[in-house]
Amino acid sequence: MESSSTYLDASAKIFIIDDSYYNLDFLSIILSDSGYEVVAEIDSEIAFEKIISCQPDLIILDVIMPKINGFELCKIINLEPLTKNIPIIFTTSLSDTDQKVKGLNLGAVDYITKPFQKEEILARIQVHLRIRQLNLELEKQKQKLEQRVQTRTAELSQTLENLKQTQLQLVQSEKISLLGQLVAGVAHEVNNPIGFIATNLYHAKNYVEDLVDLVQLYQQHFPQPGAVIDSQIEEMDLEHVLKDLPKLVNSMKLGTDSVRGIMQSLRSFSRADGDEKKAADIHQGLETTLMILQHRLKPQPNRAAIQVIKKYAQLPLVKCYSGQLNQVFMNLLANAIDALEDSFMSSKKERKNLQIHIGTSLEQERVIIQIVDNGMGIPKTTQNEIFKPFFTTKPEGKGTGLGLPICQQIIREQHGGSLECISFPGKGTEFLISIPL
């Protein structure tokens, strides 16, 4: 510390206030002779201002003075932040114990007694300058330490924040992968029996057609089969059965085809991404996601259906982690549905045109995917918050606040793209995904 050596070199600045010229001179001379810089003031009324401006290292203060006495001045100096740490030494007459005690109680660090003893004065001043120097050094160290603690705390909170993020991503991807395994397992289990039914239906269809032909042949060649058969024909409404049976088999076939399609989508949706990006069809990802969300789009007992309007451009296959992109579509679409439901409820169930627009386009080597809803929008004050982890406006159990930060992480870090939100409170919200090809 530079200033510390200055004090020890005895070039510290000492401010003396005394209403006697004799005392002022005496003190000034012995202090100057010892190498101190001295400022002397006889008028206690203007002393305070001067102390503030010259910032001495020590103050020697006479107790009994006209206008403002030493005690009052001491109080004033101790109240002012700029001066309260400057040590004050009182000068008082030898016998006056009361004054000594009162001065020390008011915050003075010491007293020197009149008549002055040169050696004693110098010794005491030196002690207090050294204490002050140590105090200043301590204060500096304390500030350094505080600074360090602050830096460390900031570093630690940043680490904690990163850890939280990583953890939530781990939890989320663990969940997704578990869900993927579950879906893949179910799809696998359903696939076998459905394949079995589909194959048998194919044969059953042929057999039914043959049998229908055969019955018709019988009818042609034996138009009078007898009363028993006639009554059976009438009872079972043979004409209707012959017409309906092939239709029935056909619709069974449509049913199994549709189940197989759904299983196919589920498997592709839940397929683990692996380490490498693969060329994928963005539209297929969107369609599969919509299919999985189908039940939420349908009219509900307490709300109208949500209409999905698609505007797909011609897109090339995109090298990506398709499972992760599906996760993004899923969250953005689920958020849009939530927003539409909220807006429906807050319109007192008056709203009818609940819509989600999904658009894709190709712009300068980038694939753009827009997901727009005409829900209640996001208030200006929270638009900055929505990408922060754990920010949610949904009730516990429904919202986690993890969807958007994870979407952003997937789009930005994994795909080098961007995810932006443009929202008009009361009108709706648009999420814009942009991925470089």
Where on the chain is the footprint of Mg ion (CB under 5 A)? Answer: 331, 335, 403
The two tokens of residue 405 are 């930060």
Helix (H, G, I), strand (E, B) or coil at 297: helix
In angstroms, rounded to a whole number, what is the distance separating the alpha carbons of residues 54 and 36? 14
Given ligand ADP, Mg ion, none, residue 375, with its beta carbon under 5 to 8 Å by kind, binds ligand ADP
Size of the residue set binding ligand ADP (CB under 6 A): 19
Enumerate residues 407-436 that contact ligand ADP by CB under 6 A: 429
Q: Which is nearer to Mg ion, 285 or 405 (CB)?
A: 405
The reply to whether 6 sits near ligand ADP by the rule CB under 6 A is: no
Asked if residues 286 and 356 have their Cβ atoms less than 8 Å apart, the reply is no
The two tokens of residue 437 are 């090809």
φ, ψ (nearest 5 deg) of residue 372: -120, 135
Enumerate residues 305-334 that contact ligand ADP by CB under 6 A: 331
Beta partners for residue 59, in sequence order: 15, 88
The reply to whether 61 sits near ligand ADP by the rule CB under 6 A is: no
Contacts of 56 (CB under 8 A, 6+ apart): 12, 13, 14, 15, 39, 86
Q: Which is nearer to ligand ADP, 47 or 328 (CB)?
A: 328
In angstroms, rounded to a whole number, what is the distance separating the alpha carbons of residues 267 and 194? 15
With tokens 């919202």, the residue in question is: 399
Nearest of 333, 334, 353 to residue 343 by alpha carbon: 353
Enumerate residues 352-411 that contact ligand ADP by CB under 6 A: 373, 375, 378, 386, 391-394, 399-404
Given Mg ion, ligand ADP, none, residue 339, with its beta carbon under 5 to 8 Å by kind, binds ligand ADP
The reply to whether 288 sits near ligand ADP by the rule CB under 6 A is: no
**Maximum Cα–Cα distance across the chain:** 156
The two tokens of residue 173 are 């991807």
Q: For the CB of residue 161, give the shortest distance to ligand ADP in the complex, in Å.
A: 16
Given ligand ADP, Mg ion, none, residue 152, with its beta carbon under 5 to 8 Å by kind, binds none
Q: Which is nearer to Mg ion, 327 or 331 (CB)?
A: 331
Question: Which residue of this chain has its Cβ atom nearest to ligand ADP in the complex?
Answer: 403
Q: For the CB of residue 147, give the shortest distance to ligand ADP in the complex, in Å.
A: 36
Q: Which is nearer to ligand ADP, 116 or 424 (CB)?
A: 424
Given Mg ion, ligand ADP, none, residue 400, with its beta carbon under 5 to 8 Å by kind, binds ligand ADP
In angstroms, rounded to a whole number, what is the distance separating the alpha carbons of residues 11 and 30? 13
Residue type, 135: N
Given ligand ADP, Mg ion, none, residue 372, with its beta carbon under 5 to 8 Å by kind, binds none
Question: Which residue of this chain has its Cβ atom nearest to Mg ion in the complex?
Answer: 403
299, HSE (Cβ side, Cα atoms, 13 Å): 6
Contacts to ligand ADP by CB under 6 A: 331, 335-336, 339, 373, 375, 378, 386, 391-394, 399-404, 429
